Amino acid sequence: MDRLTTRPYEPRDEDGYYAVRSITYNDGLPIEREARDFRYSRPFVCEVAGEICGIYNVLDMTASRGEAILKCGGIASVAVLPHKRRLGIGRKMMDWSVQRLRDEGTPLSSLYAFREPFYRRSGFETVGKRLRITCPSHRLPKVKSDLGTRLLTPADWKLLVPCYKAYARKHSGLNVRTELFWNRVLNEHHPLAIYAVGDPIEAYAAVRHRVDFWEPQHVTEVVWSSLRGYEALMVVLAGLAINKTELSWYELSDSPFVTRFMDQGVSIELQRPIMYRVTDVPAALRQLKTQETGAFDLEVVDDLIPENCGPWHVGFSPSGVDVQPAKNADLTTDVRQLAQALLGEPSWRDLAANGFVVVKEDRALSAAEKLMPAMPATCLDFF
Ligand SMILES: CC(C)(COP(=O)(O)OP(=O)(O)OC[C@H]1O[C@@H](n2cnc3c(N)ncnc32)[C@H](O)[C@@H]1OP(=O)(O)O)[C@@H](O)C(=O)NCCC(=O)NCCS
């Protein structure tokens, strides 16, 4: 293949970039000037012999992990011209994007895959379990609640922040949103209606209402910071469902619905898994926060970024995480499994039980678990 260059988009790339985008993401139709908008993401192009053959964008987001918030580059809009596919361009572009994020100081990357094995080759792995709960209207739980409910608009996003942040401390991988990202989620294509319970807010549901009667209704986002908030939300959902056949929404592996409200006819499906990649192992570990003290030596298998491999001596305490080169490793794992363990699902213990972590010293596994405890993980932003 001719020389291939991946690089940030420049104004001179407009025609080439939008040609690839139009074919892949706009039914082959031209993309109007007003829709040519890089408010939420940074575009990149891949040139082969002077022709733009591939594109992708990066959303500068974050990923929650307990008290820590890590920078995370969300990769979106990946595309290669149809007649240039299966030549290795997509792979090279993704490998480059991972290295680029590392060089920019972003230790994590995330994406939603068209097919996971394609991105697994560049070191991404699915993290956590997003459950789509589909509940027939007449099977919604009958709960009582005294918490008041308010109807909010996207302009009220600041009122949701404490509830969302409390959720993000207990569920890792969440984008701790800036105003820009709140706007993207609540207001990008259609302003969502937000039903918020409690004051201060203890739970909310964001909905794109559909006019059709006796059709399914999806609830875009359901977030809670207390069980009584969650229960009050079930009352709101029952109201929403009154002229619909069924409601669907997402919860994570610690789903209160599965724990308390399962019923015949409700379906639970593992859906839209997000993939993460640790682009910079020592930087990601250093950004973690803990109230615990301990140490372990870790080796990482990473074919794409040898600088990630170590072995690393990881010492941690409430004053910070110190990562230094080490001679030997107590634990060895692949960079894909490290993304899972780092965010907490599957956990270090579950990965080790299935042989995904080679454990020389059990106390090292316990120490890694202390720094990175098991935790339900996902991302609530879609891109
Ligand atoms: C996905 C895409 C960017 C990959 O780019 P590419 O240059 O074709 O990728 P590569 O040549 O590096 O790798 C191709 C490999 O990906 C896999 N692959 C790519 N597209 C696939 C598809 N639609 N179905 C199954 N496998 C596919 C194949 O396994 C292939 O491996 P092979 O060479 O062993 O056969 C490109 O195919 C594309 O633009 N697809 C349409 C848009 C899209 O799906 N984007 C991804 C959004 S997450």
Is the CB of 79 inside a 6 Å radius of any atom of ligand 1?
Answer: yes
**Any ligand 1 atom below 6 A from CB of 78:** yes
The domain that holds 111 is classified in CATH as 3.40.630.30
381 in a domain, yes or no?
no
Closest Cα to atom 25 of ligand 1: 115
Assigned domain for 380 exists: no
Asked whether residue 232 falls in the same domain as residue 146, the answer is yes
Do residues 203 and 228 make contact, with C-beta atoms less than 8 angstroms apart? Answer: no
**Mean pLDDT, rounded, for 55-84:** 98
Task: Count structural domains, the chain.
Answer: 3
Shared-domain flag, residues 63 and 79: yes
Separation of alpha carbons 291 and 255, rounded Å: 26
Whether 341 and 218 map to the same domain: the answer is no
Residue 377 in any domain: the answer is no
The pLDDT of residue 2 is above 90: no
For ligand 1, whether the C-beta of 138 sits within 6 Å is no
Summarize pLDDT for 242-293 with one digit per residue, the tens. Answer: 999 999 999 999 999 999 999 999 999 999 999 999 999 999 999 999 999 9
19, 52 Cβ separation under 8 angstroms: yes
Q: Please indicate, yes or no, if residue 200 is contained in any of the structural domains.
A: yes
Last residue of a domain, one of 125, 146, 178: 125
CATH number of the domain at 335, please: 3.30.1050.10
Classify residue 316: in a domain, yes or no: yes
- Residue-wise pLDDT tens digits, 94-136: 999 999 999 999 999 999 999 999 999 999 999 999 999 999 9
- Domain of 12 in residue numbering reads as 4-125
11 is a domain residue? yes
Same domain flag for 361 and 307 = yes
Please identify, among 105, 125, 145, the residue that sits at the C-terminal boundary of a domain: 125
If asked whether residues 334 and 365 sit together in one domain, one would say yes
* 284 shares a domain with 264: no
Shared domain for 188 and 283, answered yes or no, is no
Name the domain boundary from 270, 296, 313: 270
The half-sphere exposure of 274 on its side-chain side, counting CA atoms within 13 A, is 31
Query: For atom 18 of ligand 1, which residue has the closest CA?
Result: 118
35 pLDDT more than 90: no
Ligand 1 contacts CB of residue 46 (under 6 A): no
